Amino acid sequence: MNDGALPHRPALALAALGAVAALLLGGVHLLTRDRISEAEQRRALDALTGLLPDSAYDNDLLDDRIEVRIPGLAGESTVYRARLDGRPVALVADVVTERGYSGTIRLLVALEAGGVVEGVRVVEHSETPGLGDRIEVRRSDWIEQFGGTSLGDPPIEEWKPDRRGGAFDTLSSATITSAAVIGAVRAVLDWYASNRRQAFEDRHDEDPDAPDDEGGGP
Amino acid sequence: MSTRTALWRNGLWDANPGLVQLLGLCPLLAVSNTAVNGLGLGLATLFVLVLSNLAVSGVRRWLADEIRIPAFVLVIATLVTVVDLLTRAYFPGLAVTLGIFVPLIVTNCTILARAEALASRSGPVDALIDGLAQGLGFAAVLLLLGAGREILGQGTLFADAELLFGAGAARLEIHFPIDGVLLAVLPPGAFIGLGLMVALHRRLDRRRSGRVAEGAPEDPAAEAAP
């Protein structure tokens, strides 16, 4: 194939190909960057607004958010705050639990400002198809059982799957998955109970640096 | 033109990447749990395969033996990334469904194999035909395996079609009056299903070439059905 016209310089050819690939990728990246981040924001917003009725708040959820550490959950969680006329109405916590059966489960937990669960949705998971994946709302209505619950209702010691003596339905053959989701919702409730005031404050980054003289939780 | 007919026949049947060459099994087995997932990966693979064949055929004169494989890998990885970015920007709904599959295409040896075996030695037209034939053959296997596993495993067919084809396609979903057999959806179901398809393919091939008897078991394909 190298008979004639072109000099036999494989390294140069490969370098040229690499340069073309880099240019192409750079160009496509520039072209698509804005659209991709826009699409991802819209998707995140859709998931959030699905949990709260439109009329309940008038602020921009994606702008009004803080990063917090919630004990029992992985890494930093994002908390979006919903307000009506400036008053706190509800919050949606975007959290990740590591107690799933096969990996992490990411879920959105919506709480009314009073501490009652508005709704829960699983956003990402890798649980067993046919068993654990029934935590998705499109596969079963199991996840709906959290609506209306709070820390005292059911009592704290019953925040477990019923297979383990708790008050919540267990997905059959997926007790670990069920327990992970229940535990994550409870972790958010626990965090909110001891950080109720800070949860809606402006620019609240980490627990310790909030200038708060009473009840500044652990 | 008979070589072009041969290209079609090879990709779709005689040397089908999924059933005969047994290439690209990692994505094939992992993503064939429903018909729509299978079809989604099949279409994305087809797209990358055609582009990669064309690109490799286009630069084939510059590729000395020493750099062929790295150059193919570079071409394929670049194309997959481009396809991934474009889907996420212009078809965000599709990207949510295909999100995990598109990067998986890089692991599909079919694409590398076609670049090496055909595209690097052929003109663009043959490379295009080969890409289409092999891609369609692979997509067909994915769709059939996905449909079989979905029917047996969940009792549905074309569930979530709206993610691939838009809201109107939700009507495509068919329900069957059977309880799902979990095995079909789990990884072993993929191996069993593919095994049955390979066996059926070989049997049909053998029957066609008139060498049926020769001590073959009565009906290897039907026996082990779950």
pLDDT digits (tens, 9 = 90+) for A19-53: 999 999 999 999 999 998 888 878 777 877 888 88
Closest residue by Cα to residue A110 from A53, A178, A154, A159: A53
Q: What are phi and psi of A174, to 5 degrees?
A: -140, 50
Using pLDDT thresholds of 50, 70 and 90, give the confidence band for residue B103.
confident
The partner residue sitting opposite A36, judged by closest CB among B81, B88, B182, is: B88
Q: At B160, list the tokens.
A: 């979530």
Among B82, B94, B154, B183, most A C-beta atoms within 10 A, so best to mutate, is B82
A35 touches chain B (CB under 8 A): yes
Residues of A within 8 A of B185 (CB-CB) are 129-130
Using pLDDT thresholds of 50, 70 and 90, give the confidence band for residue A105.
very high
Residues of B within 8 A of A43 (CB-CB) are 92, 96
| Gap between the Cα atoms of A44 and A42, Å rounded | 5
pLDDT of residue A18: 93
- Mean pLDDT for A63-79 is 91
- Asked if the Cβ–Cβ distance from A21 to B75 is below 8 Å, we say yes
> Cβ(B30)–Cβ(B104) under 8 Å?
yes
Whether ipTM exceeds 0.90: no
- Mean pLDDT for A114-132 is 87
Closest residue by Cα to residue B11 from B85, B86, B117: B117
For residue A209, is pLDDT > 50?
no
Kindly report the nearest CA distance between residue A19 and chain B, in angstroms. Answer: 11
- Asked if the Cβ–Cβ distance from A31 to B89 is below 8 Å, we say yes
Dump pLDDT digits (tens) for B50-59: 999 999 999 8
The partner residue sitting opposite B89, judged by closest CB among A2, A35, A128, is: A35
pLDDT of residue A7: 52
The sheet that has A76-84: what strands, in order across it? A65-69, A76-84, A87-100, A103-112, A117-124
Residue pairs between chains A and B whose CB atoms are closer than 8 Å: 75
Lowest mean pLDDT among A169-173, B29-33, B195-199: B29-33
| Gap between the Cα atoms of B79 and B83, Å rounded | 6
> Cβ(A198)–Cβ(A207) under 8 Å?
yes
- Mean pLDDT for A67-75 is 93
| Gap between the Cα atoms of A195 and B41, Å rounded | 45
pLDDT of residue A19: 95
For residue B24, is pLDDT > 70?
yes
Higher model confidence: residue B166 or residue B175? B175
Q: At A84, list the tokens.
A: 């009506």
